[in-house]
């Protein structure tokens, strides 16, 4: 039996060594969206999920911190974020704004201080007059109500597609959504999902386009993603 020629031998060895790598990267590129937004285990029912979120929101120690030590500090940070968005022409004094998952409403107060007076927050526990009661999986607002929606609680959504769907439903055509999310760090113990790529988040916004993505330093969240709802979004839903 003849031995393989040297060149053929090298080709066969190269294929043997590189084929596993090719297969690995091919699988990674086809990685499904759900693996890039991973729901945390342990949520046996929606009621259990809601109760766990309420455990944080109603925690007396945390509420005291939010309304005292953290109050001015967080308002100053949000104020800078919103001022910057105004300078970019992404927010105006005439905008009707919603802050999703606003706790006690520091971001709402910051919006009012930059001149956007028609602003309100929504959370499971109301904090009048800044925050009304509502579940971000089922917003208590009519279609196309807001010009601008802000949230830094995407990681608390048990159903990220519903979270995004409700934002797109209640945004007016041409309206903006600004999300602050964590990519390089994992968020707190009350989070319901972990996000591993901006691309996975973008795929959820079926009726919007990306305006910009940038790094931020926002209370443990490192990435700002801004979306604009398409003006003829009714026919632009991706399958």
Beta bridge pairs of residue 132:
122
Q: Whats the size of the chain, residue-wise?
A: 239
| Global confidence as pTM | 0.83
Q: Cα torsion at 193, 195, 198, 201 (round to 10°)?
A: -20
Closest CA to 109 of 138, 66, 153: 66
- Mean per-residue pLDDT pooled into runs of 10, the chain (239 residues): 54 46 40 71 94 94 93 96 97 98 97 98 97 98 98 97 98 98 82 94 97 92 96 56
pLDDT digit string, tens, across residues 66-109: 999 999 999 999 999 999 999 999 999 999 999 999 999 999 99
């Amino acid at each position: 039996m003849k031995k393989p020629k040297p060149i053929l031998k090298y080709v066969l060895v190269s294929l043997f060594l590189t084929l596993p790598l090719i297969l690995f990267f091919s699988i990674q590129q086809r990685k499904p969206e759900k693996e890039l937004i991973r729901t945390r285990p342990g949520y046996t029912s929606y009621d259990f999920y809601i109760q766990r979120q309420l455990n944080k929101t109603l925690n007396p120690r945390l509420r005291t911190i939010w309304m005292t030590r953290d109050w001015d500090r967080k308002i100053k940070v949000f104020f800078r974020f919103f001022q910057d968005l105004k300078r970019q022409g992404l927010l105006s004094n005439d905008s009707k704004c919603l802050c999703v998952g606003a706790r006690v409403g520091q971001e709402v107060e910051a919006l009012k201080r930059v001149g956007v007076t028609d602003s309100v927050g929504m959370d499971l526990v109301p904090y009048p007059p800044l925050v009304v009661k509502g579940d971000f999986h089922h917003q208590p607002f009519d279609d196309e109500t807001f010009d601008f929606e802000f949230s830094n609680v995407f990681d608390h959504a048990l159903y990220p597609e519903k979270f995004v769907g409700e934002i797109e439903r209640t945004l007016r055509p041409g309206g903006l959504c600004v999300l602050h999310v964590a990519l390089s760090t994992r968020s707190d113990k009350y989070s319901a999902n972990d996000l591993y790529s901006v691309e996975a988040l973008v795929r959820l916004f079926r009726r919007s386009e990306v305006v910009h993505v940038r790094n931020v330093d926002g209370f443990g969240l490192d990435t700002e993603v801004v979306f604009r709802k398409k003006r003829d979004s009714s026919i632009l839903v991706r399958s």
